[in-house]
Structure 1
Amino acid sequence: MRRVVFVALLSSDGRLALVTDDLPGAGPRWVLPSGSARAAEPYREAAVRVLREAVGAMPVRGGTVEGCRWAQVPVPVGRSRREAHVFIFRLPEAGDPPEPLSWRGATRWAGPEQWQELCTRCDLPYVDVLLTGYLEGWIPDGRITLGP
């Protein structure tokens, strides 16, 4: 089973960092920074590692909400079994967010009106709701299941 972490990095004004993901044979698409958790690595530690790859030593604050997409059983045809966790981080400083991030490829900062379209490309349903609830304060701390 693949253990995947996604990093939702929000600017102080509520925009979301997206990076390009150039898949072989496909054009570039905008996605959340992501990576795989190592064998015994906890999901949160993997997310911090991915975040550090994206922002280097830039100061960030970690949120207390974790969105989880549990591995599906049975696995849909043509897909690998995957469990994904989304961790939210915030840039603490006001002003324009940095562009580009040190993540490979280009960076784009997307406002809430673009989240649903862009986050569905990561196969993470309801990430837009998770982020909105986090920013508005109505999502409780802890793990939140994304999708059925």
Structure 2
Amino acid sequence: MRRVVFVAVLSSERTLALVPDESPGCPARWVLPAGSARAAETYRDAAMRVLRDVVGAMPTRGGAVEGCRWAQVPVPVGQSRREAHVFIFRLMVAGGLPKRLPERREPVRWAGPDQWPELCARCDLPDVDVLLTGYLEGWIPDGRITLGP
């Protein structure tokens, strides 16, 4: 089973950092920074590693909400079994949004809430837009939240 983490980095302007998809054979598109959890690594530790790879030493604050997409059983035909967790972080920088994040050569795109539904469809993460909106508006409780079916 693949254990995947997604890192949602939100700015003070309520926009979300997206990076170019680096998956081989995929069309050009913008996605949430992601990575796989290593064998002895917790999901939160993997998210912290991915976050450091993206923002470097830029100050962030972690949220207490974790979105979870549990592995499906049985596995749908043509898909691999994967479990995905989404961790939310707030970028704590003053001034304008960076055009490039320190640890990445590629540019970063900042997406507003109106673009989040399209994003979660591309990441195969149902309800990420609802998770992010609820986090920002304060009506999602702290802890693990199940995403999708």
**Alignment TM-score, normalising by the size of structure 2:** 0.95
1: CA distance between counterparts of 2:139 and 2:84?
A: 22
Q: Which runs of 4+ in 1 moved over 4 A?
A: none
Identity level (%): 77
Q: Is 2:100 aligned against 1:81? A: no
Q: Is 2:55 aligned against 1:55? A: yes
**Alignment TM-score, normalising by the size of structure 1:** 0.95
SS at match of 1:87: strand
Would the aligned equivalents of 1:32 and 1:119 in 2 still touch at CA under 8 Å?
no
Q: Trace 1:123-138 onto structure 2 (pairs within 5 A).
A: 123-138=124-139
SS at match of 2:52: helix
Distance 1:104 1:68, change over 3 A: farther
Q: Which runs of 5+ in 2 are unaligned?
A: none
Would the aligned equivalents of 1:13 and 1:94 in 2 still touch at CA under 8 Å?
no
Count of residues paired in the alignment: 148
Cα displacement string for residues 113-147 of structure 1 (whole angstroms, at most 9, x for unaligned residues): 00111221110000000000000000000000000
Shift of 1:104: 5.4
Q: Which residue of 1 aligns with 2:116?
A: 115
Deviates more, 1:23-32 or 1:46-55: 23-32
Q: Which runs of 5+ in 1 are unaligned?
A: none
